[in-house]
Amino acid sequence: MNHHSAQSGKEQSSMLRTIETLMTGLIDYAGLFPPSKLDMATATQNYARDLRSQHERFLSRFICPANRLDELTQHASSLMPGTHATSGYREHADFQDPWQISAIIIGDLQENLDRIYAFNEHHDNEANGLAMVDAIEMRVGKPDDIDEALELIPELIVPAFELPREAIFEGDPRGFIAAIAGSGGVAKIRCGGVTPDLYPSSEDIARFIVACNRGDVAFKATAGLHHPIRSEHALTYEPDAPRGVMHGFINVFIAASMVQHAKGFEESHAIELLNETDPKAFSFTDQRVSWRDFAIDVAQLAQSRESFATGYGSCSFKEPTDDLKALDLL
């Protein structure tokens, strides 16, 4: 990688445009989920802190099970923008953008949507803390599940449909992707977990990315992408945690943009890029990202991030940013 030193404090002018474009809004914070499994109070405090941090622009939504939205209200109202924390005094209030929430659907979809509507109505009032569920995530077992869900989900909420393991692991995701096409929804791929068997191969991820691109369907990823470059790590935070090779978020999201935009970049090249473990194989400048003989410019990367490779869920915000600093990319 091209070495690049970040300036201290809040100053961001030294950040390469390609890194800024790659990272802006990339990470949905999933601190409630394994391997972190934080309690609601700690997770929401972390999210509020990171929204005010040097790299806050990298952060997107807070991920919360829909059946815990009342708990989110209880612990986070005073942390949200609005007048809740100032007893109604607007002159002391913080009017950042409302918190964006992605709600995980567990159980009956309509019941979950009703919880979401109640939460959004409550948090549309600055006295209650400003927040909005504008995305949901749900597992599906067959393409018909997507059609049925889309009949219930309102247009203002973006659904991410997590494909089943058998459609990813040496499987065929195209039927699911066809069901999502044209709906405004996105396909979701799980890239890891707390044990090695939960990690799809690079072939699996490349097949999924190529199928999404051909089907004109955006995607998001979740799990296992704490680190920029493919490498071996402990899979949980326990002292005796199993170790395994984890996919890198640079690998995944640069592969996706190159699938879309790099001339001559085939699925076989995507597999090789996803398998890349050498940080120096990637070069970042203000104008271009290159890997081996392939390159994309910053406008192409921006287009992919905006409408195709939308982001990923991570239970840590610190690990991705610390690792980028270690690579001299921040």
- pLDDT tens digit sequence for 249-267: 999 999 999 999 999 999 9
Does residue 238 or residue 201 have the better pLDDT?
201
In a domain, 10, yes or no: no
Q: What is the CATH number of the domain that holds 101?
A: 3.20.20.70
Please check the confidence at residue 231 and state whether its pLDDT lies above 60. Answer: yes
Interval 291-300 mean pLDDT: 97
Residue at 182 is within a domain = yes
Mean pLDDT value of segment 279-286? 96
Query: Does position 61 have pLDDT exceeding 50, yes or no?
Result: yes
> What is the rounded average pLDDT for all residues in the chain?
92
Q: Is residue 105 assigned to a domain?
A: yes
Question: Out of 47-51, 96-100, 147-151, 302-306, which region has the weakest mean confidence (pLDDT)?
Answer: 96-100
Confidence of residue 3 (pLDDT cuts 50, 70, 90): very low
Evaluate whether residue 68 is within a structural domain: yes
Task: Classify residue 6 by its DSSP letter.
Answer: P
How confident is the model at residue 96, as a pLDDT? 79
Within-domain flag for 266: yes
> Is residue 88 included in any domain, yes or no?
yes
pLDDT, tens digit, for every residue of 129-178?
999 999 999 999 999 999 999 999 999 999 999 999 999 999 999 999 99
pLDDT of residue 86: 53
What is the per-residue pLDDT across 15-46, written as a single tens digit (0 to 9) for each?
999 999 999 999 999 999 999 999 999 999 99
Q: Provide the residue range defining the domain that includes 101.
A: 17-326
Two structure tokens written together for 292: 């081996």
Contact 280, 312 (CB under 8 A): no
Average pLDDT of the residues in 230-253? 93
Indicate the pTM of the whole model.
0.92
- Residue 4 lies inside a defined structural domain of this protein: no
How large is the average pLDDT for residues 311-328?
Answer: 96
Q: pLDDT by residue (tens digit) across 4-18?
A: 333 333 334 579 999
Q: DSSP of 82-102, one letter per residue? A: BSGGGTT-GGG-B--PPEEEE
Number of domains in the chain: 1
Strands 131-139 and 282-284 turn out to be unpaired
Q: What pLDDT does 85 receive?
A: 55
* pLDDT at 4 (0 to 100): 38
CA neighbor of 312 nearest in space, from 102, 47, 156, 143: 102
Asked if residue 12 belongs to a domain, the reply is no
3-state secondary structure of 65: strand
